């Protein structure tokens, strides 16, 4: 039996429909069903409350209905021996590509500057159009990062990517290690954070690192808010070392009303919407993984608890 928790009844209703369509024989329940928690073997979750997992004594595994699993890995109500499976892409890569194209085109067309000038009722065209595309640097070449990197490369952008281990990605310069990280920063005009949030990447977007970007570079954070040191970003924007920050994730969500990001003219905020999980595709992965697990095979998206993703 799979217990589904999304924290929103309407949303859960839609997921239940997808499960019914794709796996009519699978018993899927939600909080509404009030069934014995001992019968629950698997849970599919997004953002469960503290101690949520304590209710299920016979749990065999957790399906994260997300790409990021940092919040699950950090919990103290889940034994570390319990397998966690995360979603791979599930429709998110294309949405991230669209989001990042919007940012790249904003910079290329100077639309960020015109939005700022509009607020000042300032009719001031730039002298010319930007002759070149921004050089894109992607931190994190996982399932999503690779797809983003390849698409931008195909569209004629110069793309570098940083990952923990060496890899070949067609059309993309892959950099590894501390030296690779600095090299990437030094030649990036548009830095995209897609790293998993782990002890190794927490606060990685700090002053010492961000100031290695060339003057006038911009940042997009679609990873996790905990990876960014907010005040360091603000000071680099204020000194104009950085031009624009487009932020979709924050260390506290919703972003508190009194946070300086809200009113900063060089910050664009979106409310953690860069990519939605598409239930149809996510359910397909969960159902396939349940089949794999039943056959004793390795599921996809299995989280390595030592790496934290
Ligand atoms: C969203 O942030 C996710 O991790 O899927």
CATH number at residue 79: 3.40.50.720
> Nearest C-alpha to atom 4 of ligand 1 is from which residue?
68
80 shares its domain with 100: no
What distance in Å separates the CA atoms of residue 39 and residue 177, rounded to the nearest whole number?
46
121 C-alpha to ligand 1 centroid (Å) = 38
Kindly provide the residue ranges of all beta strands, DSSP E only, lying in the chain, ordered along the sequence.
2-5, 28-29, 42-45, 61-64, 84-85, 136-139, 159-163, 173-176, 190-193, 217-221, 242-247, 267-269
24 C-alpha to ligand 1 centroid (Å) = 27
- When the pLDDT of each residue in the chain is averaged and rounded to a whole number, the result is 97
11 shares its domain with 149: no
Q: Which atom of ligand 1 is nearest to the CA of 66?
A: 5
16 shares its domain with 118: no
66 shares its domain with 214: no
The tokens describing 86, both together, are 């995360």
The residue segments making up the domain with residue 162 are 92-269
Q: Output the pTM of the full model.
A: 0.96
Give pLDDT tens digits for 271-286. 999 999 999 999 999 9
146 shares its domain with 179: yes
288 shares its domain with 225: no
Confidence at residue 250, expressed as pLDDT on a 0 to 100 scale: 98
52 shares its domain with 81: yes
In the structure, what pLDDT confidence band is assigned to residue 191 with cuts at 50, 70 and 90? very high
Confidence at residue 7, expressed as pLDDT on a 0 to 100 scale: 86
What distance in Å separates the CA atoms of residue 254 and residue 266, rounded to the nearest whole number?
20
Q: Which atom of ligand 1 is nearest to the CA of 92?
A: 5
Confidence at residue 35, expressed as pLDDT on a 0 to 100 scale: 85
134 shares its domain with 117: yes
Sign of the torsion angle spanned by Cα atoms 247, 251, 255, 260: negative
277 C-alpha to ligand 1 centroid (Å) = 8
126 shares its domain with 47: no
Q: Does residue 307 sit within a domain?
A: no
Q: Which residues are part of the catalytic machinery?
A: 224, 272
Confidence at residue 8, expressed as pLDDT on a 0 to 100 scale: 87
The secondary element (H helix, E strand) that includes residue 280 is helix 279-294
Give pLDDT tens digits for 17-46. 999 999 999 999 999 998 899 999 999 999
178 shares its domain with 264: yes
Q: Which atom of ligand 1 is nearest to the CA of 275?
A: 1
Confidence at residue 209, expressed as pLDDT on a 0 to 100 scale: 98
Q: Cβ distance 61 to 81 under 8 Å? A: no
> Nearest C-alpha to atom 2 of ligand 1 is from which residue?
68
Count of domains forming the chain? 2
Q: Does residue 103 sit within a domain?
A: yes
What distance in Å separates the CA atoms of residue 272 and residue 185, rounded to the nearest whole number?
25
Q: Does residue 145 sit within a domain?
A: yes
**Ligand 1 pocket, residue 67 CB under 6 Å:** yes
What distance in Å separates the CA atoms of residue 93 and residue 90, rounded to the nearest whole number?
8
9 φ, ψ (degrees, to nearest 5): -60, -40
């Amino acid at each position: 039996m799979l217990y589904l928790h999304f924290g929103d009844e309407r949303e859960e209703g839609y997921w239940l429909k997808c499960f019914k369509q794709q796996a009519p024989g699978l018993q899927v329940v939600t909080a509404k069903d009030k069934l014995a928690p001992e019968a629950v073997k698997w849970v599919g979750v997004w953002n469960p409350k503290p101690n949520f997992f304590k209710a299920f004594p016979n749990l065999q595994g957790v399906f994260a209905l997300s790409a990021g699993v940092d919040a699950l890995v950090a919990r103290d109500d889940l034994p570390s021996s319990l397998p966690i499976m995360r979603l791979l892409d599930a429709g998110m890569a294309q949405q991230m590509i669209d989001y990042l194209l919007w940012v790249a085109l904003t910079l290329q067309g100077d639309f960020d500057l015109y939005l700022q000038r509009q607020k000042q009722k300032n009719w001031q065209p730039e002298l010319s159009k930007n002759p070149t595309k921004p050089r894109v640097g992607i931190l994190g070449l996982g399932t999503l990062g690779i797809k983003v990197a390849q698409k931008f490369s195909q569209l004629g952008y110069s793309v570098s990517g940083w990952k923990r281990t060496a890899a070949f990605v067609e059309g993309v310069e892959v950099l590894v290690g501390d030296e690779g990280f600095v090299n990437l920063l030094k030649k990036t005009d548009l830095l995209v954070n897609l790293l998993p949030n782990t002890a190794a990447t927490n606060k990685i977007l700090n002053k010492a690192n961000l100031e290695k970007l060339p003057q006038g570079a911009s940042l997009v954070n679609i990873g996790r808010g905990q990876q960014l040191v907010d005040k360091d970003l603000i000071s680099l924007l204020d000194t104009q070392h950085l031009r624009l920050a487009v932020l979709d994730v924050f260390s506290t969500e919703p972003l508190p009303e009194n946070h300086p990001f809200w009113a900063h003219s060089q910050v664009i905020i979106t409310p953690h919407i860069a990519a939605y999980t598409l239930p149809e595709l996510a359910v397909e992965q969960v159902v396939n993984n349940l089949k794999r697990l039943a056959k004793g095979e390795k599921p996809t998206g299995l989280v390595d608890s030592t790496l934290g993703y």
